[in-house]
């Protein structure tokens, strides 16, 4: 009987020990620190603009998306802005490059963008963005 209780207790605690009991994601006061530093302005679906430094998507300074069956990776160094739109359960990003060209990608809407504001850290789901404007010129991490 005691053995059954021990097994039951282990099974009930297992999700908590594996982190399934948490909401997931990064703590609100910490963000991933990218290797290269970029500044950007995020505009959400309610037209609230937030200026950030140390900008990343999941800690990386690239935007990744699909066209057909292929996966494209575009570095922030080449991006001027991305305009997001939701359609038929997909998130599209119209990426305008610094050289004037553009490309439309299907982007994973479950990812998060991170940055620092003058008030503290910032994080937002890519799916909640309307636009991301990247400032030209980058600095290496010091």
pLDDT digits (tens, 9 = 90+) for 46-89: 999 999 999 999 999 999 999 999 999 999 999 999 999 999 99
103 has a pLDDT exceeding 70: yes
21 has a pLDDT exceeding 50: no
Q: What is the pTM of this model?
A: 0.76
For the beta sheet containing 40-44, the strands, ordered from the edge strand earlier in sequence to the opposite edge, are 70-75, 62-67, 102-107, 90-97, 79-87, 129-134, 40-44, 49-57, 112-116, 121-125
**pLDDT band for position 10 (50/70/90)?**
low
What's the pLDDT score for residue 33? Answer: 87
Per-chain mean pLDDT for the chain: 85
């Amino acid at each position: 009987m005691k053995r059954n209780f021990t097994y039951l207790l282990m099974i009930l605690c297992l999700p908590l020990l594996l982190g399934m009991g948490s909401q997931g994601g990064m703590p609100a006061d910490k963000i991933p620190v990218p290797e290269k530093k970029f500044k950007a302005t995020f505009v959400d679906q309610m037209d609230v603009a937030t200026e950030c430094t140390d900008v990343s998507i999941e800690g990386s300074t690239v935007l990744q998306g699909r066209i057909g069956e292929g996966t494209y990776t575009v570095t922030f160094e080449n991006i001027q802005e991305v305009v997001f739109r939701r359609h038929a359960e997909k998130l599209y990003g119209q990426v305008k490059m610094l050289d004037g060209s553009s490309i439309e990608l299907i982007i994973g809407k479950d990812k998060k963008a991170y940055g620092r504001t003058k008030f503290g850290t910032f994080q937002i789901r890519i799916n909640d963005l309307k636009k991301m404007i990247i400032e030209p010129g980058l600095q290496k991490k010091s």
